Amino acid sequence: MKSTKGLSAQPHEAECFDLETPQPSKDRSLPDHTSSNALWLEARDKPRIRTNELPPISGENARVAARYGAISRGTERLVSAGEVPPSEFDRMRAPFQSGDFPFPVSYGYSVAGVVEDGPEGWIGSRVFCLHPHQDHFVVPVEALRPVPETVPLERAVLAANMETAVNVVWDGQIQPGDRVAIVGAGVVGLLAAFVAAAIPGTLTYLIDHDPSKADVAAALGLIFSGPESAPEDCDVVIHATGSEGGLVTAIDAAGFEGRIVEASWYGTRAATVPLGAAFHSRRLQIVSSQVGQVSPSRRARWSRSRRLDLALSLLEDPRLDVLISGETPFAALADTYLDILMDPKVLCHRIKY
């Protein structure tokens, strides 16, 4: 999950970069927006659209018109329910979050859009930004990442979750030939399995209690099983269900001296970890993974911006469209937001601006 999930919920560091492709010149016919609409949580499970005034464009700032966004259901459900622990108020802040935890707060971290105004060379650029749900916004250009021409904006909204998945795979230290199990077929679990399966020689299993996820797994070329037939003796197990039962399944699936990566975030809930029976004799490792920091194995050389660029490039595969389970117009989001958060069948729910 992102802390926020990832970004999960940590602000990504800003890093200047050069665009690799020529950008269109400034088009004065583009709309000159001075206000915007944003989704706010006024109180526990009380979403509302607020109108905000936009700051003027100056210096190295750009105004972006959102085209698509995505709801990170796991993290946003906890935020909407007021389940961010006070100890995590600072670490869980999303980039460009307005308001403070618990409420009122404008939260989210996935928007793909087009630059309407800003520095020369940026106008018309297709970009991704870790930003709350808002139809227009002004941010420093260093916070914008170019969307590859081979990635449609409709799919680019998966970038934040893909970034989390990449970090999880790094934390798992998955190597060619490893036997890998991912417990939990949510968006992060599916993307982590997708990335792990691309490592040569790996045998990657996706485990979930919902048999309907088998179709999604098949579309991504993954081996699916329920918890009752989960594989054993795995080199690496990634747990992404956010439940104690899922963690038990993950521990059972790990082989001798196996590595278990805990990718779930439990908010204010306590989780019982079964450390009895053969846990110690099997010399198992449990490590946490959180997207707010680059994995230690890459941190000396990889910035968050470089990691996000990698995530965007990995979205070229059209099979990933199977992760988009629904779409809602932004104008209707306040009325449907809670239903989306509470629906366990939802994978990535896209917002259309």
SS (H, E, C) the chain: CECCECCCCCCCCCCCCCCCCCCCCCCCCCCCCCEEEEEEEEECCEEEEEEEECCCCCCCEEEEEEEEEEECHHHHHHHHCCCCCHHHCCCCCCCCCEECCCCCEECCCCEEEEEEECCCCCCCCEEEECCCCECEEEEEHHHCEECCCCCCHHHHCCHHHHHHHHHHHHHHCCCCCCEEEEECCCHHHHHHHHHHHCCCCCEEEEECCCCCHHHHHHHCCCEEECHHHCCCCEEEEEECCCCHHHHHHHHHHEEEEEEEEECCCCCCCCCCCCCCCCCCCCCCEEEECCCCCCCCCCCCCCCHHHHHHHHHHHHHCHHHHHHEEEEEEHHHHHHHHHHHHHCCCCCEEEEEC
User: Do 167 and 279 share a domain, yes or no?
Assistant: yes
How confident is the model over 186-203, as a mean pLDDT? 98
Provide the mean pLDDT of the chain: 92
Asked whether residue 10 carries a pLDDT value surpassing 50, the answer given is no
d(CA 78, CA 103): 12
User: Do 77 and 121 share a domain, yes or no?
Assistant: yes
Q: What is the pLDDT of residue 212?
A: 95
Determine what percent of the chain is predicted with pLDDT higher than 90: 87
How confident is the model over 279-297, as a mean pLDDT? 96
Dmax (CA) of the chain: 69
Residue 213 lies in a domain: yes
d(CA 24, CA 215): 41
Q: What is the pLDDT of residue 26?
A: 39
How does pLDDT run across 94-116, given as a tens digit for each residue? 999 999 999 999 999 999 999 99
User: Do 225 and 248 share a domain, yes or no?
Assistant: yes
User: Do 120 and 137 share a domain, yes or no?
Assistant: yes
Phi, psi of 174 (to 5 degrees): -70, 135
User: Do 212 and 230 share a domain, yes or no?
Assistant: yes
The amino acid occupying position 259 is: R
Lowest mean pLDDT segment, chosen from 15-29, 233-247, 337-351? 15-29
User: Do 155 and 165 share a domain, yes or no?
Assistant: no
Roughly how many angstroms between the first and final C-alpha of the chain, as a whole number? Answer: 25
Asked whether residue 73 carries a pLDDT value surpassing 60, the answer given is yes
User: Do 253 and 322 share a domain, yes or no?
Assistant: no
Q: What is the pLDDT of residue 87?
A: 95
CATH of the domain at 96: 3.90.180.10
**CB-CB contact of 19 with 93 (8 Å):** no
Of 271, 288, 305, the last residue of a domain is: 288
How confident is the model over 164-170, as a mean pLDDT? 98
Residue 126 lies in a domain: yes
Packing angle of the helix pair 159-172, 187-197 (nearest 10 deg): 60
d(CA 34, CA 133): 17
d(CA 218, CA 264): 24
Phi, psi of 78 (to 5 degrees): -65, -40
Residue 147 lies in a domain: yes
User: Do 145 and 40 share a domain, yes or no?
Assistant: yes
**Encoding tokens for residue 151?**
């990635």
Asked whether residue 300 carries a pLDDT value surpassing 80, the answer given is yes
**How many domains is the chain partitioned into structurally?**
2
User: Do 133 and 204 share a domain, yes or no?
Assistant: no
Range of the domain at 141: 35-159+313-352
User: Do 51 and 168 share a domain, yes or no?
Assistant: no
Asked whether residue 74 carries a pLDDT value surpassing 90, the answer given is yes
How confident is the model over 166-194, as a mean pLDDT? 98
Asked whether residue 232 carries a pLDDT value surpassing 80, the answer given is yes
Residue 108 lies in a domain: yes
Q: What is the pLDDT of residue 31?
A: 61
Predicted TM-score of the model (pTM): 0.90
Q: What is the pLDDT of residue 236?
A: 98
Residue 251 lies in a domain: yes
The residue with greater pLDDT, 2 or 197, is 197
User: Do 279 and 324 share a domain, yes or no?
Assistant: no
Residue 341 lies in a domain: yes
User: Do 175 and 140 share a domain, yes or no?
Assistant: no
- Identify the CA nearest to 288 among candidates 154, 168, 131: 168
Q: What is the pLDDT of residue 59?
A: 95
Asked whether residue 22 carries a pLDDT value surpassing 50, the answer given is no
The alpha carbon of residue 8 and the mean position of all alpha carbons in its chain are separated, in whole angstroms, by 7
CATH of the domain at 166: 3.40.50.720
Residue 298 lies in a domain: no
Peptide bond preceding 85 in cis form (omega within 30 of 0): no
Residue 18 lies in a domain: no
